[in-house]
Amino acid sequence: MIRLEGVSKIYPGTGTGLGSTDLEFQPGEWVALLGPSGSGKSTLLRLVAGLESPSTGSLNQPHRRDRIGFVFQDAALLPWLDVLENVTLPLILKGRDRKSAQELAERELDRLRILPHAKSKPHELSGGIRMRVSIARTLIQQPELILLDEPFAALDEPIRIELGLELRELFSHLRPTILMVTHSITEGLWLSDRVVVLQGQPGTVALDERSTLGPVRTLAGRGDPEFLSMVERCFVLLKGRGNP
């Protein structure tokens, strides 16, 4: 379990960051983090990843650094390496022999339906394929905790939906803990098991609630009345016009 007790991180001179926060994240759950810019969503991810230290409070994060995967909005692929080399790099840096690393990488590329692009360079790929490569590079490390910082923000809506469904299917089999920052209310509620809404600057928790959807996600679920009601509640909170 990841536990934050009175954790805050305020950036001097800006007033932005994360206000005093008490949260627990259970093993194997997918949590969406929503909030306006400056409310501390990405700060919370960096605190959990150990990239930032809290200004106040205590944070219990039991996962080793090498068991944490981070997927950013930018796929952050090395342009001089091809797809297979980008995906195998984390394992090779950890001492894995190249042959077994490539076998594992090819398996992940095949699972994400991008094996035909194994020898392509990043500049030859579409945005959706580059993001799949970034996800494959994360999954090959078998992380217990995956931190997603707006991974689909730069993609067209159909590709976002397709990648979301694929990642949700992988999640159902692998069951890592996932914390996902997104500016899309619909995307966050549709993919996650639980949503946390941050409000204000610095941000504090305005809503923490379980998803109304079942474990299997479909496009039809986005039209469910309970789901749409939850979208509206989150919208009102994000606009600062009400209480949960």
Angstrom CA distances, 167 to 40, 71, 103, 160, 241, stand at: 24, 12, 21, 10, 33
Angstrom CA distances, 156 to 128, 129, 140, 161, 162, stand at: 9, 12, 26, 9, 10
Start-to-end C-alpha separation, the chain: 26
Domain 1-63+145-244: CATH architecture, name and number where available: 3-Layer(aba) Sandwich (3.40)
What is the rounded distance in angstroms from the CA atom of residue 86 to the CA atom of residue 151?
A: 17
What is the token pair recorded at 148? 């997603």
Q: What is the DSSP letter of 193?
A: S
List the domain boundaries for the chain.
Answer: 1-63+145-244, 78-143
What is the rounded distance in angstroms from the CA atom of residue 117 to the CA atom of residue 87?
A: 12
Amino acid at 90: P
Sheet with 2-10: list strands edge to edge: 17-25, 2-10, 56-60
Angstrom CA distances, 17 to 45, 57, 95, 98, 125, stand at: 11, 14, 37, 41, 35
According to the model, what pLDDT value does residue 167 have?
A: 87
According to the model, what pLDDT value does residue 125 have?
A: 93
Q: 10-residue block means of pLDDT along the chain (244 residues)?
A: 93 84 94 91 92 92 87 88 94 90 92 92 92 91 91 84 87 89 92 93 92 85 90 89 51
